[in-house]
Structure 1
Amino acid sequence: MMKTMNWGIVGGGEGSQIGFAHRAGSALDRKFKFAAGALDVDPARGREFAISLGVDRARAYGDWWEMLQGERSRDDRVELVTVATPNVTHFEISKAFLENGFHVLCEKPMTMTVEEARELVAVAKRANRVCGVNYGYSGYPLVRQMKAMVADGVLGKIRVVVAEFAGGFMADAADADNPRVRWRFDPKQAGVSAVSVDCGIHAMHMACFVTGQKVTKVSSDFAHGITSRELEDDSSTAFRMDGGAIGRLWASGLAIGRTHGLTLQVFGEVGGLSWKQEQPNQLLYTPLNEPTRIIERGSAGLSPASLRAGHVTVGHAEGMVEAFANIYRDLGDVIEAAKVGAQPNPLALDYPTAEDGLHSIELIHAMARSAKNGSQWTDLI
């Protein structure tokens, strides 16, 4: 049995939307120990918060560059670095850590541009390092059950995929000066898209993950419900996939009354599946001409991938932290295997890769081009 590996994070400081989920998820299966971090854009605040979480004072860094310099020469250096900073910084930080021999888990979107994404894929290959992208929702046990059922042909050939990530989290016009919201609509910090890259990208990755298909072309409409915003707060996209599936995506921050809003429906020749992130422990399965059945997380007869992803017995709820934990468990298994020259558990290879991150960036840029051209059908590059 391999010993627990040291882990560090850039970003995810006090008040972060995502920091706790990463810290808790990384520790849950005892693959990683939180050993170092540069947690905040304010160096003093970041150091203080890291120390309060139990990080040694010498490894509570003021910024990511200091962390890189401090960790790369240590015998007990961190082996995996999570990058949980604003979009515009992902490429530079991830590239630097990969080139210095660290494995990386980057928050989505992996980069701002397609060119950066391609380069990051190449850098990871040259360095022979793992580079994952945190599409954390793919860690839910019943999302992995959906993937297994599609792969096993339970639904027959997939005809239609409907993905949504629509909630009311961007609906308040008074949030114009809220720094946690404002940057998402600033092209210099967010890129070519706001709600589509912030939320829709999760739903699109899930559509690809579950079906095993890639998107080939899109027709997108980007809208501004709050007209002062530079980037879209609502979008609708029709898409086609390389396995023949027809797709539909709705991403919105204006859907007041929908709390989170991530859902995926997959319809094949002989059956359909429906999953909602807000009720993640149940999956609806409807065979052709038969009543709908409820599949419970952890119940007997589920796929090995789904059962491996569970942490508690059937009937007890699991959520976002456990889903993140499954991504970290996958990464830990892959890194451990590489260290001893072994093959990892095939089920660990379900983690979202840099290649998946590249596909998402190609997809977002195609959506943005389509929206600018009156929703014209646009091929991915």
Structure 2
Amino acid sequence: MGKLNWGIIGGGEGSQIGPAHRLAAGLDRAFDFVAGALDHRAEEGRAFGRRMGLAADRAYGDWREMLESERGRADRVDLVTVATPNATHFEITKAFLEGGFHVLVEKPMTMTVAEGEELVGLARETGRICAVNYGYSGYALVRQMRAMVAAGDLGRVRMVVAEFAHGHHADAGDADNPRVRWRYDPAQAGVSAQFADCGIHALHMASFVIGQEVERLSADTVSCIESRVLEDDAQVNLRFDGGAVGRLWTSSIALGRQHGLTLQVFGEKGGLRWAQEQPNQLYWMPLGGRLEVIERGGPGLSPEATRASRVTVGHAEGMPLAFGNIYADLAEAIRARAEGRAIDPAADLYPRAEDGLRSMAAVFAVAESGKAEGAWVEARPPMMR
């Protein structure tokens, strides 16, 4: 099977996430960027699409036009990425799944748990892939952590500590900045701000690495900038279905922190520590041994980590490369389905709609627990209880 066709909705000029998706999708030359509805302003979107190299008839004014045109083409897109504001994810993803397209949707996948359950059911019914861009799970050493946990190197996992804390929204004077304001507006962001924006990345990574899903949680949420309706800081205690305990801190007012995504896993026989800002090193402490530094790209890594290493050892690895691994996984999954064969196990790691659904259930659970002064609440979606 040759190169696959790719299109994106959103991610237009000035977008924070659009360039990362374009770089990631083109990284392995598995996808050709052939279609897009890049802006909610039709003419600006068409013009930007043409500047990006799209043919005039595939630089669309909106996603509905793109859906109608692409579904009738022999060379239709094989994968559609939805990189639009949160409140539009469900409607667009549903429409393209129903149209027979594979979809990668930005997180959060939906605005409600019921919408998430509908997309999970629809993906199963149509046989289409519905993936969610928890792109940080594409880092090579995150996949190495997962492989070490699965291999039993840590023994039983006792504790996982996840953080996603930054200080980029710490200025109360940014209250009217449109790039900040919408994140704390319930009409646009839903029931949660910081946890739904960043906390779910940390939660997904914790579950991805330890192979367990959260069952119950207790949350302390606060708006440190008092004018905000939704939280800008949250501390969440977690209980996983495999017996692990979790601690998760997420914040947007942590001055001095830049990106702040870190993960620590502590087991009976050893502990692991990784930080996204230093992604080339994974720290491993075996019980009774010495602290070891595992280098990305070095010898002896798992097949999953080896496959995900894009540049030679010692060189910097970045976020678009991690996103690129998600796209590489999806290309392999689409080709395997088309060719009627099993997917390469080292590539069968892309986040599914089920992951998006679990995250949305956790978002609502955090909001509920925060309002109830930290009461322990059910964190699983109804269809997974």
Which TM-score bucket, shorter chain as reference?
Answer: over 0.9
Separation in 1, partners of 2:173, 2:53: 37
SS at 1:17's partner residue?
coil
For the pair 1:224 / 2:195, whether they are aligned, the reply is no
Q: CA deviation at 1:45?
A: 1.1
For the pair 1:191 / 2:190, whether they are aligned, the reply is yes
SS at 1:350's partner residue?
coil
Q: CA deviation at 1:314?
A: 1.1
Aligned equivalent of 2:176: 177
For the pair 1:101 / 2:103, whether they are aligned, the reply is no
Aligned equivalent of 1:74: 73
For the pair 1:115 / 2:144, whether they are aligned, the reply is no
TM-score by length of 1: 0.99
What is the correspondence of 1:205-216 to structure 2 with a 5 Å cutoff? 205-216=204-215
Aligned equivalent of 1:351: 350
What are the superposed Cα offsets for residues 339-362 of structure 1, whole Å, 9 maximum, x if unpaired?
A: 121111112210000011111111
Q: Which runs of 4+ in 1 moved over 4 A?
A: none
Aligned equivalent of 2:284: 285
Separation in 2, partners of 1:83, 1:25: 14
Q: CA deviation at 1:137?
A: 0.1
Separation in 1, partners of 2:283, 2:46: 46
Q: CA deviation at 1:292?
A: 1.2
Separation in 2, partners of 1:374, 1:258: 27
What is the correspondence of 1:21-36 to structure 2 with a 5 Å cutoff? 21-36=20-35
Separation in 2, partners of 1:273, 1:203: 15
Q: CA deviation at 1:291?
A: 2.2
Aligned equivalent of 1:362: 361
Aligned equivalent of 2:123: 124
Instruction: Identify which range, 371-380 or 200-209, moves more after superposition.
Output: 371-380
Give unmatched runs, 5+ long, in structure 2.
none
Separation in 1, partners of 2:4, 2:24: 14
Separation in 2, partners of 1:180, 1:328: 27
Aligned equivalent of 1:83: 82
SS at 1:227's partner residue?
coil
What are the superposed Cα offsets for residues 250-297 of structure 1, whole Å, 9 maximum, x if unpaired?
A: 000001111100000000011100000000011011111222111100
SS at 1:259's partner residue?
coil
Separation in 1, partners of 2:117, 2:187: 20
Aligned equivalent of 2:237: 238
What is the correspondence of 1:328-343 to structure 2 with a 5 Å cutoff? 328-343=327-342
For the pair 1:5 / 2:32, whether they are aligned, the reply is no
Separation in 2, partners of 1:312, 1:234: 35
What are the superposed Cα offsets for residues 201-231 of structure 1, whole Å, 9 maximum, x if unpaired?
A: 0000000000000000000011011110110
TM-score by length of 2: 0.98
Q: CA deviation at 1:365?
A: 0.9
Q: CA deviation at 1:329?
A: 0.5
SS at 1:222's partner residue?
strand
Aligned equivalent of 1:255: 254
Query: Size of the alignment, in residue pairs?
Result: 380
Instruction: Identify which range, 311-320 or 127-136, moves more after superposition.
Output: 311-320
Separation in 1, partners of 2:88, 2:145: 33
Separation in 2, partners of 1:260, 1:126: 38
Q: CA deviation at 1:76?
A: 0.6
Aligned equivalent of 1:371: 370
What is the correspondence of 1:137-152 to structure 2 with a 5 Å cutoff? 137-152=136-151
SS at 1:344's partner residue?
coil
What is the correspondence of 1:15-54 to structure 2 with a 5 Å cutoff? 15-54=14-53
Aligned equivalent of 1:301: 300
Separation in 2, partners of 1:333, 1:106: 18
SS at 1:312's partner residue?
coil
Separation in 2, partners of 1:86, 1:364: 17
Separation in 2, partners of 1:205, 1:237: 14
Given residue 62 of structure 1, which amino acid in structure 2 is its aligned partner? G
Given residue 101 of structure 1, which amino acid in structure 2 is its aligned partner? G
SS at 2:297's partner residue?
coil
Separation in 1, partners of 2:311, 2:220: 42
SS at 2:91's partner residue?
helix
Give unmatched runs, 5+ long, in structure 1.
none
Aligned equivalent of 1:134: 133
What are the superposed Cα offsets for residues 22-77 of structure 1, whole Å, 9 maximum, x if unpaired?
A: 00000101111110001111111111111111011111111111111111101111
For the pair 1:61 / 2:68, whether they are aligned, the reply is no
Separation in 2, partners of 1:14, 1:295: 38
Tell me how large the CA RMSD over aligned residues is.
0.8
Given residue 243 of structure 1, which amino acid in structure 2 is its aligned partner? G
Separation in 2, partners of 1:78, 1:118: 25
